[in-house]
């Protein structure tokens, strides 16, 4: 009997969720485990895997047809050429994060706009000091450059536009519009766009093309008053170049949820910079994450068994 490998701990899957899976696939055996030896013993019979699955075993599973990962990023494919070359279908949890990540981006932006980081430091020292008014700014009329206008970028554009910002975007296919984005461009126009931006937001996945997408040239093209926010992948920014630009005041600040190395090493200069907000890669966290991801899986399971195209399919050659 073909197996659906449910990569959940015993307490992570409710009775109702399991019933819904059984109802959709009564002819398949459900194996709920994250134990590697157990997975290895069942490897020959696994047809579908969801959530946690050792990625180094994907190419070794002879009958595995579809892997539904729980997160959105698929940059692990950079180290799995055998999987890229295979017929395995990979789908993601894209869309689950759009609301919390958008709110994280806007929270960082508003924190810089209203001088919140120094205010928090002053509070811990019981210091009463207001910022100079020239150090603050308002969002209406400011330009946001979104690099990577996928599901997250589209949600961010809607909210930023509602706050009165002018939003311009960069995506692989600039002919595809997005609500809230006034103008869309291709990535080869990035250097021309950066001088326009008051805030640059990176939501791009990590691929060979996006690695160090923001480097010395791009940082030099930005305004000295610009804010850089990265919630995508740390590898899309040349981190030493960013640190130098921040230290030299060539950009005003950075809000960073992702880093080249995670956890961020204790000796990183980013920790001590007053013009940097560091969060521990939790922009996508939300109490309703698993419910949204499960809804995607259940709909994809229905489609898979009906022979219909799946949602959120990864183009393995592109890496997202």
Report the distance separating Cα 201 and Cα 169, nearest Å.
Answer: 10
Q: Which residues contact 166 (CB under 8 A, 6 or more apart)?
A: 141, 142, 143, 144, 182
How buried is 260 (Cβ within 10 angstroms: 0-12 exposed, 13-18 middle, 19+ buried)?
A: middle
Angle (CA) 286 291 292, round 5°: 80
Distances (CA, A) of 107 to 100, 238, 257: 10, 24, 12
Q: Among all residues, which ones are annotated catalytic?
A: 233, 262, 281
How buried is 236 (Cβ within 10 angstroms: 0-12 exposed, 13-18 middle, 19+ buried)?
A: buried
CA atoms within 13 A on the CB side of 112: 24
Task: Count CB neighbours of 276 within 10 A.
Answer: 19
Task: Count CB neighbours of 40 within 10 A.
Answer: 13
Give the DSSP letter of residue 309. Answer: P
Q: Using alpha carbons only, how large is the chain's radius of gyration in Å?
A: 22
Give the DSSP letter of residue 150. Answer: S
């Amino acid at each position: 009997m073909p197996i659906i490998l449910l990569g959940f701990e015993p307490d992570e899957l409710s009775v109702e969720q399991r019933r819904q899976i059984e109802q959709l696939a009564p002819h398949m055996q459900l194996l709920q485990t994250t134990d590697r030896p157990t997975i290895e013993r069942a490897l020959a019979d696994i047809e579908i895997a969801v959530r946690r699955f050792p990625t180094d075993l994907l190419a070794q599973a002879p009958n595995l047809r579809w892997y539904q990962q729980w997160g959105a990023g698929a940059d692990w494919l950079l180290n799995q050429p055998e999987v890229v070359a295979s017929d395995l279908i990979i789908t993601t949890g894209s869309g689950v994060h759009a609301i919390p990540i958008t709110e994280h981006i806007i929270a960082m932006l508003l924190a810089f706009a209203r001088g919140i980081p120094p205010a928090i430091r002053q509070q811990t020292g019981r210091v009463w000091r207001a910022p100079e008014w020239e150090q603050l700014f308002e969002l209406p009329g400011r330009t946001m450059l979104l690099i990577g206008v996928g599901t997250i970028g589209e949600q961010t554009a809607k909210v930023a536009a509602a706050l009165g910002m002018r939003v311009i975007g960069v995506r692989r296919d600039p002919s595809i519009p997005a609500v809230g984005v006034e103008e869309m461009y291709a990535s080869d126009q990035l250097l021309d766009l950066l001088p326009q931006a008051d805030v640059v937001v990176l939501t791009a996945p990590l691929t060979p093309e996006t690695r160090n997408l923001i480097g010395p040239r791009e940082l030099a093209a930005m305004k000295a008053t610009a804010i850089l926010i990265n919630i995508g992948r740390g590898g899309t920014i040349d981190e030493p170049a960013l640190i130098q630009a921040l230290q030299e005041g060539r950009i005003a600040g950075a809000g960073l949820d992702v880093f080249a190395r995670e956890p961020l090493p204790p000796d990183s200069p980013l920790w001590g910079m007053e013009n940097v907000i560091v969060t521990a890669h939790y922009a996508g966290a939300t109490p309703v994450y698993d419910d949204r991801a499960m809804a995607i899986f259940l709909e994809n399971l229905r489609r898979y068994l009906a022979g219909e195209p799946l949602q959120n399919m990864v183009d393995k050659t592109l890496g997202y």
